[in-house]
Chain A
């Protein structure tokens, strides 16, 4: 902003009053010190008069995303920026995965430019570059299992890196003299370029681990900005925003409202704050400073308010202000608390002819989790919530717990008959969970092949101790078990409906069957006439090894159902029970009883029978009666 010294004493608001040319308004959405707070950091009040019980829950990545989306919806000319410390010193849900969940969440939030803060250097510059560029974390040359979970990246096993640009104007590689990361970013609105210069506090080396900043030089903040100004102007840029990871605190007896600038951030005794000292040296071309580091909320701008409490009555008095730059002009300076509690909503009005900022309107807004509109927005678009929930599940103390041991790989690949090693195990687990009379009294279980996800149950070496995380990967859908009564004819019809062309079936879907069920099918037979024979041997799968508790009963012989009206209690999952995968015959079951979740049944089966010190699950054990399905010509 070019403005004479004579005008310096005027408030920022006066600029807009004096201007009459064509303008474009740019919505700048700023925040700082997110520190990987993907989940709500708790409650927060707009100022210190708000009693703890009346402070709303705030933050959480999904609500930050919704709040940002709402602000962006009001103006297509928008940009989302940060003032550093978005990672590091973060809760377990982010830290356990090397802060990759935070990066993926911030990508979804739509962050575009972010200054580096001191905590971006906690793990060193090489790790910061990895987070910027993507790729998996290796520990001593070995891929770390907690990296590249990829819940918010292109695919499992990948990490896309930050889609936003980290900026480090004052961080220079000592050896090359180049900045570690770009010094600034530019975004164009209606043909007008706006520059965002990003940097951390010069004192960063004194507050992080020395190895984290080895080989780097941290230069003076204001001098760095001032040196860039001519370069930006040479590109036709007059609108300049500084994102700096340095800040101050409100300090007068007011209430420290999130839109206050109490004491103009002066420290006790009247000295300027750290951020005040930087702004005081800034070139007059800088139009807005978005700051951070102190975790404080303040708004030193045309939107400043003094909030006081007198005899219990709260008064709000506007006091347009800013912090003086090197020519004495008051520059808007903001900070949005920390942890995603607050967003700074800034409208930059830019003269399209001069390309310079003519007014700045800034307001700090709580990211209020009780806001009905935001609640609705999260419900409508749960993408970020799902991401966070997914990482929370992976960070759970349950995730790494061993549930059983297997002697060999049990993949989800089917043999010629359609039988999967993983599918047979799952069907047995579902039978065990529903075999007791009070839980369904099932005699057989059928599992849809599509519900046995890749890769099945496999490990790096055998015997392999399966974890809950492994099981969840293979059975991620949270289906519940349903036990129902089917007739012998319906059992035959169910098996026939596995094949294309029978009763509307569009693909071949061979159900996985539990111990005691045996059948054969003919590949060359016509649709609805493929099942050659079917038998059922009552089997107690709750003991190891499983034992037959009765003689084998023929249900189908040479394609004929021997006793069509005889009934059996059969377990499937709720997806199949409602006709999923085209198995409409299951919607005709009777005496339907709901049960446990499928993964619970799997865990109960493995942990009760095949968890050390018990012998491992061995598909070669004759008691498992594998294979159970035979394909005939």
Chain B
């Protein structure tokens, strides 16, 4: 099935039964094939037409709720659909619902189950590999993808996932944006004009205050979109040319601020979005923070993270904002102090949390910087 045909089918599903009259014969056949594939499960209820119609409506309701950004409604719809049939599409809906609500760990754990429990479908394995990679589990993501490839050679979703995950900065596009496996949040909030593009990553450090690379803010119109898919207009408050950092005014939830610079060699994380594409989840890379590179205020990144993305947050072992990435170095909070004035730091690090928890904590405070032109 081509991505275009699948998208048109899913558009039909999302629109609900009210547009059934517009179906063509080929679309009907396509829908039947899709239904067979989606429900290739040993659940006898798949033969109960009325229940399956209810289920399809609930899935469409859930997807529509995600498009609105109403994750509570989406969860309820997908949970009800799950009670009608044990199927991968429903579970992937729940996975995306939790991720869009910022619950990365829950989504990841459940996706592990979906991938392991629904081997009748290709997409869960691909989605699980994508989610593992998001949280810095490169090896586990590779193994999961290899398993999906071994079972589903030639599958469009698996192949597209493999192509993207082979790159340093994967972008969800084409078939990867289809539901039920969609590998990106639904875009919500401000509607962006045609031609917009993602040019850098930033971090919201206080309510309404976002730090981004200064060189990326030349455009007149700018927006920031966080890792939950929410877009909002951004305006420049100030630019520190020495540091090369711009402060933007844009609403949203901030990351916790580290009280001090982390020690060299301590676990750290850098999180950034791929450039290009649209609403997306950011990528986390884990490692050990480098020492001073003997250039005033900057430190070596230390973390083996690929080059190619502008900006990005650096977070300490507790997942607190510790600085801004700039290529293979970073500016710690001590260097950023002039831009962080008035922000109360979080409690000093006492507990080191896992990479998955760090990712979950920062998902809503990491932002894409979006410009037009």
List residues of chain A with CB under 8 Å of any chain B CB: 35, 37, 39-43, 48, 51-53, 88-92, 95-96, 119, 122, 203, 206-207, 209, 249-251, 256, 267-269, 274, 294-296, 339, 392-393, 395-398, 400-401, 403, 433, 468, 542, 595-597, 599-605, 607-608
| Interchain CB contact (< 8 A) of A51 among B72, B106, B117, B264 | B72
B83: chain A residues within 8 A (beta carbon)? 249-251, 256, 296
Tell me, rounded to whole Å, the shortest Cβ–Cβ distance linking A388 to chain B. 11
A356 to B64, CA, bound (A): 54
A96 to B354, CA, bound (A): 15
List residues of chain B with CB under 8 Å of any chain A CB: 41-42, 44-45, 48, 50-51, 71-72, 75-76, 79-80, 83, 86, 98, 101, 103, 105-106, 108-110, 112-117, 119, 132, 135-140, 263-267, 286-288, 290-291, 300, 302, 304, 354-355
* A88-B116, A268-B51 known; A596+B109 contact, CB < 8 A: no
* A41-B106, A597-B263 known; A90+B355 contact, CB < 8 A: no
A51: chain B residues within 8 A (beta carbon)? 72
Are B265 and A92 in contact (CB-based, < 8 A)?
Answer: no
Can you name the residue of chain B whose Cβ is closest to the Cβ of A480?
Answer: B263
Are A203 and B42 in contact (CB-based, < 8 A)?
Answer: yes
A599: chain B residues within 8 A (beta carbon)? 265
A595: chain B residues within 8 A (beta carbon)? 263
A282 to B42, CA, bound (A): 23
A48: chain B residues within 8 A (beta carbon)? 76, 79-80
Are A603 and B86 in contact (CB-based, < 8 A)?
Answer: no
A296 to B45, CA, bound (A): 15
* A48-B79, A249-B83 known; A605+B109 contact, CB < 8 A: no
* A48-B79, A267-B45, A396-B286 known; A92+B263 contact, CB < 8 A: no
Are B266 and A597 in contact (CB-based, < 8 A)?
Answer: yes
B286: chain A residues within 8 A (beta carbon)? 396-398, 401
B105: chain A residues within 8 A (beta carbon)? 39, 42
Are B267 and A398 in contact (CB-based, < 8 A)?
Answer: yes
A587 to B76, CA, bound (A): 60
Can you name the residue of chain A whose Cβ is closest to the Cβ of B41?
Answer: A207
* A41-B106, A42-B98 known; A401+B263 contact, CB < 8 A: no
B287: chain A residues within 8 A (beta carbon)? 398, 401
Are A52 and B132 in contact (CB-based, < 8 A)?
Answer: no
Are A91 and B263 in contact (CB-based, < 8 A)?
Answer: no
Can you name the residue of chain B whose Cβ is closest to the Cβ of A393?
Answer: B354
Are A401 and B288 in contact (CB-based, < 8 A)?
Answer: yes
Are A294 and B86 in contact (CB-based, < 8 A)?
Answer: yes
A433 to B41, CA, bound (A): 58
Are A122 and B140 in contact (CB-based, < 8 A)?
Answer: no
Can you name the residue of chain B whose Cβ is closest to the Cβ of A88?
Answer: B116
Are A268 and B50 in contact (CB-based, < 8 A)?
Answer: yes
Are A92 and B116 in contact (CB-based, < 8 A)?
Answer: no
B42: chain A residues within 8 A (beta carbon)? 203, 206-207
A90 to B144, CA, bound (A): 13
Q: List 18 A-B contacts (CB under 8 A).
A: A39-B105, A42-B109, A52-B71, A53-B72, A89-B114, A89-B115, A90-B116, A91-B108, A206-B42, A274-B44, A398-B267, A542-B291, A600-B264, A601-B265, A603-B266, A604-B264, A608-B290, A608-B291
B109: chain A residues within 8 A (beta carbon)? 37, 39, 41-42, 91, 339
Are B117 and A401 in contact (CB-based, < 8 A)?
Answer: no
| Interchain CB contact (< 8 A) of A605 among B114, B265, B267 | B265
Are A92 and B140 in contact (CB-based, < 8 A)?
Answer: yes
A542 to B290, CA, bound (A): 13
* A249-B83, A398-B287 known; A96+B140 contact, CB < 8 A: yes
A468 to B355, CA, bound (A): 14
Can you name the residue of chain B whose Cβ is closest to the Cβ of A204?
Answer: B42
Are A89 and B113 in contact (CB-based, < 8 A)?
Answer: yes
Secondary structure of the A contact surface, majority rule: loop
B135: chain A residues within 8 A (beta carbon)? 397
| Interchain CB contact (< 8 A) of B291 among A122, A339, A403, A604 | A604
A209: chain B residues within 8 A (beta carbon)? 119
* A92-B132, A256-B83, A398-B355 known; A600+B265 contact, CB < 8 A: yes
A91 to B288, CA, bound (A): 25
Which residue, A42, A43, A339, A599, has most C-beta atoms of chain B within 10 A? A42
Are A92 and B45 in contact (CB-based, < 8 A)?
Answer: no
A602: chain B residues within 8 A (beta carbon)? 265
B72: chain A residues within 8 A (beta carbon)? 51-53
Can you name the residue of chain A whose Cβ is closest to the Cβ of B264?
Answer: A604
Can you name the residue of chain A whose Cβ is closest to the Cβ of B265?
Answer: A604
Tell me, rounded to whole Å, the shortest Cβ–Cβ distance linking A428 to chain B. 13
B108: chain A residues within 8 A (beta carbon)? 91-92
Are A35 and B113 in contact (CB-based, < 8 A)?
Answer: yes
A203: chain B residues within 8 A (beta carbon)? 42
Can you name the residue of chain B whose Cβ is closest to the Cβ of A122?
Answer: B116
| Interchain CB contact (< 8 A) of A403 among B45, B115, B119, B288 | B288
* A268-B48, A604-B288, A608-B264 known; A401+B304 contact, CB < 8 A: yes
Are B265 and A397 in contact (CB-based, < 8 A)?
Answer: no
A206: chain B residues within 8 A (beta carbon)? 42
| Interchain CB contact (< 8 A) of A596 among B50, B86, B103, B263 | B263
* A90-B116, A398-B286 known; A600+B266 contact, CB < 8 A: yes
Are B112 and A92 in contact (CB-based, < 8 A)?
Answer: yes
* A41-B106, A91-B109 known; A600+B140 contact, CB < 8 A: no
Are A267 and B48 in contact (CB-based, < 8 A)?
Answer: yes
Can you name the residue of chain B whose Cβ is closest to the Cβ of A267?
Answer: B45
* A401-B286, A607-B302 known; A119+B116 contact, CB < 8 A: yes
Are A269 and B48 in contact (CB-based, < 8 A)?
Answer: yes
B41: chain A residues within 8 A (beta carbon)? 207
- Name the 6 nearest CB pairs between A and B, nearest first: A604-B265, A89-B116, A596-B263, A42-B106, A603-B265, A604-B264
Can you name the residue of chain A whose Cβ is closest to the Cβ of B353?
Answer: A392
Tell me, rounded to whole Å, the shortest Cβ–Cβ distance linking A611 to chain B. 10
A605: chain B residues within 8 A (beta carbon)? 265
Which residue, B79, B86, B263, B354, has most C-beta atoms of chain A within 10 A? B263
A209 to B150, CA, bound (A): 13
Are A397 and B136 in contact (CB-based, < 8 A)?
Answer: yes
* A268-B50, A398-B287, A607-B288 known; A596+B110 contact, CB < 8 A: no
* A268-B51, A602-B265 known; A41+B304 contact, CB < 8 A: no
B115: chain A residues within 8 A (beta carbon)? 89
A90: chain B residues within 8 A (beta carbon)? 112-113, 116
Can you name the residue of chain A whose Cβ is closest to the Cβ of B354?
Answer: A392
B71: chain A residues within 8 A (beta carbon)? 52
A274 to B41, CA, bound (A): 14
Tell me, rounded to whole Å, the shortest Cβ–Cβ distance linking A447 to chain B. 16
Tell me, rounded to whole Å, the shortest Cβ–Cβ distance linking B330 to chain A. 15
A602 to B265, CA, bound (A): 7
A296: chain B residues within 8 A (beta carbon)? 83
Kindly list 6 other residue pairs between chains A and B, CB separation below 8 angstroms, not including A42-B105, A48-B76, A604-B264.
A90-B113, A268-B45, A397-B138, A400-B139, A603-B288, A608-B291
A557 to B41, CA, bound (A): 83
A40 to B360, CA, bound (A): 14
Can you name the residue of chain A whose Cβ is closest to the Cβ of B139?
Answer: A400
Can you name the residue of chain B whose Cβ is closest to the Cβ of A92?
Answer: B140
A90 to B304, CA, bound (A): 28
A51 to B73, CA, bound (A): 10
* A92-B140, A206-B42, A604-B291 known; A396+B75 contact, CB < 8 A: no
Tell me, rounded to whole Å, the shortest Cβ–Cβ distance linking A117 to chain B. 11
Can you name the residue of chain B whose Cβ is closest to the Cβ of A94?
Answer: B112
A401: chain B residues within 8 A (beta carbon)? 286-288, 304
Tell me, rounded to whole Å, the shortest Cβ–Cβ distance linking A382 to chain B. 13
A393 to B135, CA, bound (A): 14
Tell me, rounded to whole Å, the shortest Cβ–Cβ distance linking A184 to chain B. 26
B304: chain A residues within 8 A (beta carbon)? 401
Which residue, A43, A207, A605, has most C-beta atoms of chain B within 10 A? A207
Tell me, rounded to whole Å, the shortest Cβ–Cβ distance linking B150 to chain A. 12
Can you name the residue of chain A whose Cβ is closest to the Cβ of B108?
Answer: A91
Which residue, B75, B83, B132, B290, has most C-beta atoms of chain A within 10 A? B83
